[in-house]
């Protein structure tokens, strides 16, 4: 089986994790990212009011993908990895979290090859 996959259980655990962290998320958009490689969760991040990641067209704020990568980079190997994006409404419902153009360029440059992202109705995947 491909290493570029996560189990349904892992996905559900991340949704649970994001919902637990939701009350502490004080940005308008509540976006969480989880980095996986070889079926292991390496780190997570969320968007926040902080200096934008240098390059890739970012102009303001740190995106969840940036922080998740920063927290996982020490453990990442040169092999492809994947990211799971989850955005929640204030009540905890799933919302669209497809990576923005800047993050798509960022993720590709960092070796990410697959994105799972939430929508209002579940999850979709996107190859990078």
Q: Shortest distance, CB of residue 71 to Zn ion, whole angstroms?
A: 16
Cβ-closest position to Zn ion:
103
Binding mask 83-122 for Zn ion (x = CB under 5 A): -----------------x--x-------------------
Confirm or reject binding of residue 6 to Zn ion (CB under 5 A).
Answer: no
**For residues 30-62, b (16+ Cβ closer than 10 Å) or e, as one string?**
bbbbbbbbeeebbbbbbbeeeeebeebebeebb
Q: Total residues contacting Zn ion (rule CB under 5 A)?
A: 3
Q: In the structure encoding, which two tokens stand for residue 60, read together? A: 């303001």
Close Cβ partners of 63 (under 8 Å, ≥ 6 residues apart): 31, 33, 47, 52, 53, 100, 102, 103
By CB under 5 A, what part of segment 49-78 binds Zn ion?
63
Q: Shortest distance, CB of residue 7 to Zn ion, whole angstroms?
A: 25
Q: Shortest distance, CB of residue 123 to Zn ion, whole angstroms?
A: 17
Confirm or reject binding of residue 41 to Zn ion (CB under 5 A).
Answer: no
What's the CA gap between 2 and 13, in Å, rounded?
20
Residues that bind Zn ion (CB under 5 A): 63, 100, 103
């Amino acid at each position: 089986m491909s290493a570029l996959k996560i189990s349904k259980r892992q996905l559900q655990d991340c949704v649970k994790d994001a919902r637990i962290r939701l009350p502490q998320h004080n940005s308008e958009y509540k976006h969480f990212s989880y980095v996986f490689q070889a079926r292991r969760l390496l780190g997570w991040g969320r968007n926040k009011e902080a200096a934008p990641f240098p390059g890739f067209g970012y102009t303001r704020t740190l995106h969840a993908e940036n922080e998740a990568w920063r927290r996982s980079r020490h453990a990442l190997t040169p092999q492809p990895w994947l990211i799971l994006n989850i955005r929640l409404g204030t009540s905890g419902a799933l919302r669209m979290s497809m990576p923005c153009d800047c993050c798509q360029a960022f993720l590709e440059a960092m070796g990410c090859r697959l994105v799972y992202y939430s929508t209002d109705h579940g999850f979709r995947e996107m190859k990078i």
